Amino acid sequence: MAVKRGGPHAPRAVDSCQCPPASHGAVSRKGGFADFVMGMTGIDTLDRAPQRAGEWVDAICDGLGWADRMAACRMLCAALHAIRDAVPPDEAAALGRGLPVILRGLYFEDWHPGAARPRPARRDDLIAARISAVFPGMARAEAELCAAAVLDLLCRRRPRAASAIGAWRAGRRW
């Protein structure tokens, strides 16, 4: 049997973030599928995973004034991939370990630790460029605001990473 290509789960060249579609309800702000799933496994880490990932997406939405949670999830994923691909593999792995389970899975998706890392003039440019690739119509200034919002969120949610993120933004080692 031939496999159909180009379906909803087909890999995308630029935007590899496979955030769940909004129609499943897992990304709704209140109630829905996430509430239903919570408590199903009896394993706290898994039962709370949708809620914890949703809190990060909500923080991005609130920080940027966005209402589209799916777009916020795609943007967050693109920014995390840009950071992951720019830092040494051991540091990328350390950052990934501190993310909520669902975001951690998205973060490590399509990761190739041995691949050459990009060296932009400014580190924020690297994140903004990845965001612009996912959202081609987005103005560069807005992509830079998005990049700053993700870095600020990482500093707030991962306080131990704050000094490393500051050094990374300044162009020094992560």
- Is residue 132 predicted with pLDDT exceeding 70? yes
Considering only residues 95 and 174, tell me which one the structure prediction assigns the higher pLDDT.
Answer: 95
- Is residue 141 predicted with pLDDT exceeding 70? yes
For the chain, which residues make up each domain, given as ranges? 30-169
- Is residue 147 predicted with pLDDT exceeding 90? yes
Mean per-residue pLDDT of the chain: 78
24 touches 34 (CB < 8 A): no
Q: CA quadruple 121, 122, 128, 134: dihedral positive or negative?
A: positive
Least confident window among 49-53, 127-131, 147-151, 166-170: 166-170
Could you report the per-residue pLDDT of 60-108, keeping only the tens digit for each?
999 999 999 999 999 999 999 998 988 888 888 988 988 999 999 999 9
Considering only residues 165 and 38, tell me which one the structure prediction assigns the higher pLDDT.
Answer: 165
Q: What's the topology of domain 30-169?
A: Globin-like (1.10.490)
CB atoms within 10 A of CB 115: 9
Local structure of residue 145 (DSSP, 8 states)? H
pTM of the model: 0.72
- Is residue 161 predicted with pLDDT exceeding 90? no
- Is residue 138 predicted with pLDDT exceeding 60? yes
Res. 38 pLDDT band, cuts 50 70 90: low
Structure-token pair, residue 17 = 């973030």
CB atoms within 10 A of CB 141: 9
